[in-house]
Amino acid sequence: MTTIELPTEDGTVDAYLARPDDGGPHPAVLLYMDAFGLRPHLRSMADRLAAAGHTVLVPNVFYRFGRAPVVELPEFINPAERPEIIQAIGPAARTLTPEGAMRDAAVYLAWLEDSPLTTGGPVGVTGYCMGAGLALRTAGTYPERVAAAAGFHGAHLATDAPDSPHLLAGRITAELYLGHADQDSTNPADQIARLEKALTEAGVEHRSEVYEGAHHGFTQADTAMYGAAATERHWAALLDLFARRLTG
C-alpha cells in the first residue's frame, strides 16, 4: 500500500495504490473518490478490494487544486454540524470538469494496463457520490478498457444537462451495478428512472437497486451518513460483480 504520482496534461495526480501482498499481477480496479476526497477511509476501502484479489488505484481527482487532503477534515464528518466543510470543498470540485476528468481517466487506465502489478486486461471501476458519475463517464468514454463499473449513492447521474453521465449509455459495454440511496436529494427518483430508461434502451447489462432508508454517502463510515447494513450490501454486490467480470 503506497502513494504514487502520475503525470497528466494538467499536472501531477497523487494516488493511493493498494494490492495483494503476494507481489503478483491481479485484475485492476479504478476507485473514484467521493467529494470528501482521498483520506484514510477511502484507503481502507481500497485495501478491502485488494484483499479480495485486486490491484486498486485511487486517484485524488482534485489534484489541480492540491494534494490530498485538499481540505482539512475532522475524523468524523457531519456536514449538518460543519457546513463549512462543504463550502471549502466547492473550489476544489470546480477544478474538475467532465472533459478534464476523462483526460485524466485515460492516464489512470493506461497506467493500470501497463503496470506489472495488474493482469493487463479490462478493468473494474467503482465510484462514490460524485465518483459514481465519473465511473459512468469512464465506462462510456473508454468502453474497450472497462469490463465492469459500479456506482453507489451517485449524484446528478441523469440531469437535463447536455453532458449528463446518462447520455453516454449507448457507448457502455461494461456490466453495471448501481446502488442508489432513497434518501438522496442529489439523485431523486425521477433521475433514477431516467438513468434506468437510458441503460435499458441502450441494451446495457445492468442492475439498478434503490437501498431503502439509505442516505447519500451511506458507504462512508467516517461520516454521519453511514449505514452499516447498506454498506455491507454494497460490498456483496461490488465483489460479486468484479469476481464475475474481472476474474471469471
The CATH number for 43's domain is 3.40.50.1820
**Sheet hosting strand 55-59, strand order edge to edge:** 2-8, 11-18, 55-59, 28-32, 123-128, 146-152, 175-183, 206-215
Give the model's pLDDT for residue 209.
98
The C-alpha cell that represents 37 in the structure block: 476526497
- Which of 26, 54, 215, 216 is catalytic? The answer is 216
Give the model's pLDDT for residue 199.
98
**Annotated catalytic residue 184:** yes
Amino acid in the structure at residue 215: H
25: pLDDT strictly greater than 70: yes
Number of independent structural domains in the chain: 1
Q: Is the pTM of this model over 0.95?
A: yes
Beta bridge partners of 18: 56
Tell me the pLDDT band of 248, cut-offs 50, 70 and 90: low
- Which of 129, 166, 222, 234 is catalytic? The answer is 129
The per-residue pLDDT for range 169-183, each reduced to its tens digit, is: 999 999 999 999 999
What's the whole-number average pLDDT of the chain? 96
**Annotated catalytic residue 129:** yes
Give the model's pLDDT for residue 82.
87
Mean pLDDT of the region 206-234: 97
Domain assignment of residue 12, given as a range: 2-247
**Annotated catalytic residue 182:** no
- Which of 184, 206, 222, 234 is catalytic? The answer is 184
- Helices 98-114, 130-141: crossing angle, 10 deg rounding: 70
